[in-house]
Amino acid sequence: MTGQTNLQTITDMTVWHLQLPVNARRDHGIGSVEHVVDIVVLGLRSEDGTWGYGEASSWSVFTGSAEASYAALNRYIRPLVVGQSLADRARIMENASYAVAHCTEAKAALETALLDLQGRLSGLPVWALLGGRCRDTIPLSCSIADPDFDRDLDLMERIKADGLRIIKLKTGFKGHDFDLMRLERLRTDYPEFAIRVDYNQGLHASDALACVRDVAGFKPDFIEQPVKAHLYDLMADIRAQIDVPLLADESVFGPEDMGRAIRERIADGVSIKIMKSGGLTRAQTVARMAASAGMSAYGGDMFEAGLAHLAGTHMIAATPEITLGCEFYQASYFLVEDILEQPFEVRDGQVVVPEASGLGGTPDTGKLDHFAINKATE
């Protein structure tokens, strides 16, 4: 039966460009987000009427724009998908990799939708299609990134009540003194929380080392991407001079970057994101390359809705090399309303790995149409 379902043809493809309202402003080292986030959702239908879905979550200053993802899927990738056999997933992804440069989020959405559809037809969860499950839950981290720190303190009370015990402090957007003040307050008022620090490239090369040394004094779990992505030599120098693990994010998109990061010893670990890697299997490859070099990894994300969170959850569930948890918090704590029919499941500070077939969750098509600013069916 499984072989027969995998031979089904993909008959239809729908692409939505959504704008989803958010409940606060988020400041990161390289930019800000407020009012709405833009995502693209892809739907693929097989000949028996089953649908599979994927999400492309972009950020213009990081991976690219939602408009680019929408065009990549609708114009360039569509001819490579409709009419093809679901059994040819690897060939479809290979062709898509060359059909349009970059657009890693669009390619992640494509692979997610193909896996979701294959899983639904075969009765298997996506994690089973990726090699099998190594964990049932994943520790969740929530980012603290509001320029109004009082609002973030309200968020701290909420996530504390929900059982979360990991936060990531976004730094480098409002001055070094602001960063130190928040670290001091968080260490004093919330000693039970593990704290991570992420600059998102927010420091200038001239004073980066001094700032990072001060922050390292608070003994965070790690300090992430303090300087611009291309400053590999400076990343390596900072890493050599602090006693806190240094993680790379924007410096490492896919396996190609990971190889260079290992050779040049720029970090102790890496943020794994399916959106920047270009898919779930490429993200797994990055994690395994990192582990082979003795580097740690955690599951990062973009400004995602619950559909992308599900994809990342399945990827991490099937990737034992990712040991530092995930930060799939937006659907629960940032979006005014998520797009899934049922809420993305977080329990006692842990993301719960779904056991149902496919992604284990489905977007509400009424919400997709409601929040869509563009929709293409052919």
Question: Residue 359 domain-assigned?
Answer: no
- Ramachandran class of 30: left when φ > 0, alpha when ψ lies in -120 to 50, beta otherwise: alpha
CATH code where residue 117 lies: 3.30.390.10
Contact yes or no for 107/81 (Cβ under 8 A)? no
Q: Are residues 66 and 148 in the same domain?
A: no
- The residue range of the domain holding 146 is 129-352
Question: Residue 140 domain-assigned?
Answer: yes
Question: Residue 370 domain-assigned?
Answer: yes
Q: Are residues 324 and 252 in the same domain?
A: yes
Q: Are residues 115 and 152 in the same domain?
A: no
Q: Is the dihedral of CA 273, 277, 280, 285 positive or negative?
A: negative
Contact yes or no for 56/76 (Cβ under 8 A)? no
Q: Are residues 267 and 341 in the same domain?
A: yes
Q: Are residues 222 and 282 in the same domain?
A: yes
Q: Are residues 138 and 258 in the same domain?
A: yes
Please give the chain's pLDDT, 378 residues, in tens: 444 566 899 999 999 999 999 999 999 989 999 999 999 999 999 999 999 999 999 999 999 999 999 999 999 999 999 999 999 999 999 999 999 999 999 999 999 999 999 999 999 999 999 999 999 999 999 999 999 999 999 999 999 999 999 999 999 999 999 999 999 999 999 999 999 999 999 999 999 999 999 999 999 999 999 999 999 999 999 999 999 999 999 999 999 999 999 999 999 999 999 999 999 999 999 999 999 999 999 999 999 999 999 999 999 999 999 999 999 999 999 999 999 999 999 999 999 999 999 999 999 999 999 999 999 997
Question: Residue 56 domain-assigned?
Answer: yes
Report, in this order, helix, strand and coil percent for the chain, each rounded to 5.
40, 25, 35
Question: Residue 25 domain-assigned?
Answer: yes
Would you state the structure tokens that stand for residue 178, as one six-digit string?
A: 């602001």
Query: Which phi and psi angles does 178 have, rounded to 5°?
Result: -65, -40
Question: Residue 357 domain-assigned?
Answer: no
Q: Are residues 8 and 89 in the same domain?
A: yes
- Can you tell me the distance from the alpha carbon of 292 to that of 310, in angstroms, rounded to the nearest whole number? 26
Q: Are residues 73 and 190 in the same domain?
A: no
What SS3 class is residue 284? helix
Q: With CA atoms as reference, report the closest residue to 104 among 114, 93, 88, 119.
A: 93
Token pair 């409002």: residue: 174
Q: Are residues 115 and 134 in the same domain?
A: no
Q: Are residues 188 and 297 in the same domain?
A: yes
CATH code where residue 327 lies: 3.20.20.120
Query: Which phi and psi angles does 348 have, rounded to 5°?
Result: 55, 45
Q: Are residues 24 and 137 in the same domain?
A: no
Question: Residue 143 domain-assigned?
Answer: yes
| pTM for the model | 0.97
Question: Residue 265 domain-assigned?
Answer: yes
Q: How many domains does the chain have?
A: 2
- Can you tell me the distance from the alpha carbon of 360 to that of 125, in angstroms, rounded to the nearest whole number? 7
CB within 8 Å of 9: residues ≥ 6 apart: 46, 47, 83, 84, 85, 86
330 residue type, one letter: Q
Q: Are residues 197 and 100 in the same domain?
A: no
